A and B are shown apart, each in its own frame.
Chain A
Amino acid sequence: MVHGAQSGLDEIVARHAGREGPLLPILHDVQAEYGYVSEDAKRHIASALNLSRADVHGVVSFYHDFRDEKAHQPVLKLCRAEACQARGVEALVAGAEAAAEGRVTIEPVYCLGLCSVGPNAMIGSSVHARLDGPKLDALIKGLA
């Protein structure tokens, strides 16, 4: 790991050091800052919090939000939960994958809480409702 990343990690750890149960807030910040939680980051956080590397790895691997590897392309989260299924999201999946042409990752998400206006998708923290084939295509093409 380069020196800059190390001091960035220290800063993130220090930001949350005084809190009760600081591990998740730290991992959220690391994920946001670097796009993933690297092996080095796990060891560094473990040593700072007096945990084992296995403890930290266990937490990282448990939660869907934390990644082991950097995402190399934009991600669109498409809700595939029951309410969006009832509103036809499954029929959009093949078209979305085709539109993505392998340049956008289409990830499932289980519920964005917009369940009466689906199908819904989320890009970063922006939410999109009432999607149909063309609207979803446009969203994906806008990312690729």
Chain B
Amino acid sequence: MVTVRISDDALAIACGADQVAAAFARAGHAVERVSSWGMQWLEPLVEIDGMGFGPATADDVAAIIDGSSPLGIGRIEDHPFIAGQQRLTFARAGKTRPTSLEDYAATGGWKGLERARAIGGAATIEEVIASGLRGRGGAGFPTGIKWRTVAGAAAAQKYIVCNADEGDSATFADRMVMEGDPYMLIEGMAIAGFAVGADKGYIYVRSEYPHAIAKLETAIKASAHIVAPFDVEVRVGAGAYVCGEETSLLNSLEGKRGEVRAKPPIPALEGLFGQPTIVNNVLSLAAVPYIMAEGAKAYADYGMGRSRGTMPIQLAGNIKHGGLYETAFGISLGALVNEIGGGTQSGRPIKAVQVGGPLGAYLHPDQFEIPFDYEAYAAVDALIGHGGITVFDDTADMAGMARFAMEFCAVESCGKCTPCRIGSIRGRELIERILDRAPRRRDVVETLPQMHNAKTAPRALEDEIALLEDLCETMKFGSLCALGGFTPYPVMSALKHWPEDFGAVRTAEAAE
């Protein structure tokens, strides 16, 4: 009998990990369910004495045990995908049983909370500021500064809200933290609560993550005595993408429609139920225990420029080696998708890479030198967002993806501001007209004799494209939140780099 370690992460389960685990158990072996290493193309990954085998099925049990299986990848920790990483937040990934308090404490758990309690709230906040940690949800706002604002606000009740509404396509790092290392998130929240004087925390998890919800519920119960008097509660979202926006999330927590609030007031001063509230992403809070345990400098030594520390980058879409890759800021996009990711799963050339989820720009292979850094991406009208990377091969239709971006915005818009609510619909119609080669004709009103200034000719393709650009400007600068404000990024980047997909290269052909 040997001890077999298999992940119980939702992704591993979706790939058949439960069946594999059951098959090993039937064969008389001890099965330990652990967190995922994040080498997702190998899931279900079976680990025996540090050696990996994957992707395994129930039929592979005998061959894995007798050593004849061709699925062996050698020692997991030595695999280039793992060995090349700098795992601070995901240091326990693959190594511990997610809801085992024993495993957590044995791997340095609760040390950050202990140190925070020892040095006091103000010093804790200074430590987080010194680490250079910035909001990992996408906005990149300095986490410690937000904490200081909440600490300085006078109120009888303050809240710590963890934004776990990870709705961006190509992102799963929050899910992996919640499912694989839930105590680390709870510890991060407890440190935040201690630092700013909040005794209540909410984790707002999307309903599409039932496995994460279950793990969190178990972990919260088991660790209540450790984080007390801080109290954590899970709240489940209800399928609205926009609730990942912090003010919309707060409205949802309060039991309202998830409509975005105008800022100011900022949530740090008037947040949940009007009280001072820290709203931090899962990855921001999960980085805190390391910072507190090892010191701000240990964290800030990683990274480049104003992007300090590490970023758990998520490699997804049409990629050969997809998974969780945590590394210091500064790594190039080309290294991520080609060297680490191994290119496309389909074996075809890469056409486009979307970074930052549905609101992130499509980057062209010509831009692969760009370093992973908040400012470097902003400089080319792109964003790193929550660190999700989606690879597309040369069969992708970028005009179709631009249309999808507008359609997605239309479906998920909260409806509060006009540029997003109406703009996204008009944007979808515009792109459809461009794709159908059916420029808009004059409507009844425009043909009235009073309409002296109305154009008499139907719009040419280039007029429609100019209008699309104009609409994107309006959405970008006129929307209340990032949903309407950033939807232009994928649209404009697709138009800029792949005009041929819109059939509208601005040449003689388009001017006909």
Residue numbers of A with Cβ under 8 A of B are 19-25, 27-28, 58-59, 62-66, 81-87, 109-118, 120, 122, 125, 127-130
Asked whether, in the complex, the Cβ of A113 is within 8 Å of the Cβ of B175, the reply is yes
Asked whether, in the complex, the Cβ of A127 is within 8 Å of the Cβ of B14, the reply is yes
- Residue in A19, A65, A118, A130 whose beta carbon sits within 8 Å of that of B239 in the complex: A65
Asked whether, in the complex, the Cβ of B238 is within 8 Å of the Cβ of A113, the reply is no
Is B315 an interface residue when CB atoms closer than 8 A count as contact? yes
Is B10 an interface residue when CB atoms closer than 8 A count as contact? yes
CB-CB under 8 A for A65 and B207, given A86-B317, A86-B391, A114-B11: yes
Q: How far is the CB of A47 from chain B (nearest CB, A)?
A: 15
- Residue in B14, B237, B390 whose beta carbon sits within 8 Å of that of A86 in the complex: B390
Asked whether, in the complex, the Cβ of B255 is within 8 Å of the Cβ of A24, the reply is yes
Interface centre among B13, B208, B259 (most CB of A within 10 A): B208
Is B171 an interface residue when CB atoms closer than 8 A count as contact? yes
Tell me how many residues of B have a C-beta within 8 Å of chain A: 61
Q: How far is the CB of A27 from chain B (nearest CB, A)?
A: 7
Query: What sequence of 0s and 1s flags, for each residue 285-329 of chain B, a beta carbon within 8 Å of any chain A beta carbon?
Result: 000000000000000000000000000001111110011000000
With both beta carbons as reference points, the residue of chain A lying nearest to B159 in the complex is identified as A20
CB-CB under 8 A for A28 and B238, given A113-B171, A116-B323: yes
Could you tell me the distance between the alpha carbons of A81 and B235 in the complex, rounded to whole angstroms?
24
Q: 18 A-B contacts, Cβ less than 8 Å apart?
A: A24-B253, A25-B235, A63-B237, A82-B317, A82-B401, A83-B388, A86-B392, A87-B317, A111-B169, A113-B175, A114-B172, A115-B172, A115-B316, A115-B317, A115-B390, A116-B315, A127-B10, A127-B14
Query: What sequence of 0s and 1s flags, for each residue 245-277 of chain B, a beta carbon within 8 Å of any chain A beta carbon?
Result: 000000011111111000000000000010000
- Residue in A28, A115, A120 whose beta carbon sits within 8 Å of that of B236 in the complex: A28
CB-CB under 8 A for A87 and B170, given A20-B273, A110-B408: no
Instruction: Give every chain A residue within 8 A of B368 (Cβ-Cβ).
Output: none
Asked whether, in the complex, the Cβ of B404 is within 8 Å of the Cβ of A82, the reply is yes
Q: How far is the CB of B168 from chain A (nearest CB, A)?
A: 7
Could you tell me the distance between the alpha carbons of A45 and B43 in the complex, rounded to whole angstroms?
44
Asked whether, in the complex, the Cβ of A64 is within 8 Å of the Cβ of B240, the reply is yes
Could you tell me the distance between the alpha carbons of A112 and B172 in the complex, rounded to whole angstroms?
9
Instruction: Give every chain B residue within 8 A of A117 (Cβ-Cβ).
Output: 11, 14-15, 40-41, 43, 322
Q: Please count the residue pairs between chain A and chain B whose beta carbons lie under 8 angstroms apart in the complex.
A: 147
Asked whether, in the complex, the Cβ of B317 is within 8 Å of the Cβ of A83, the reply is yes
CB-CB under 8 A for A128 and B14, given A65-B207, A115-B317, A115-B390: yes
Instruction: Give every chain A residue within 8 A of B273 (Cβ-Cβ).
Output: 20-21
Asked whether, in the complex, the Cβ of B208 is within 8 Å of the Cβ of A115, the reply is no
Asked whether, in the complex, the Cβ of A111 is within 8 Å of the Cβ of B168, the reply is yes
- Residue in B11, B169, B318 whose beta carbon sits within 8 Å of that of A110 in the complex: B169
Asked whether, in the complex, the Cβ of A27 is within 8 Å of the Cβ of B14, the reply is no
Q: Which of B316-352 contact A (CB under 8 A)?
A: 316-319, 322-323, 345
Instruction: Give every chain B residue within 8 A of A125 (Cβ-Cβ).
Output: 210-211
- Residue in B237, B257, B357 whose beta carbon sits within 8 Å of that of A59 in the complex: B257
With both beta carbons as reference points, the residue of chain A lying nearest to B388 in the complex is identified as A115
Is B166 an interface residue when CB atoms closer than 8 A count as contact? yes
Asked whether, in the complex, the Cβ of A110 is within 8 Å of the Cβ of B167, the reply is yes
With both beta carbons as reference points, the residue of chain A lying nearest to B255 in the complex is identified as A23
With both beta carbons as reference points, the residue of chain B lying nearest to A24 in the complex is identified as B255
User: What 20 new A-B contacts, CB under 8 Å, besides A81-B169, A115-B170?
Assistant: A21-B254, A21-B255, A28-B207, A28-B236, A62-B414, A63-B239, A83-B388, A87-B317, A109-B208, A113-B166, A113-B172, A113-B175, A113-B209, A114-B14, A116-B314, A116-B315, A117-B15, A117-B43, A117-B322, A127-B11
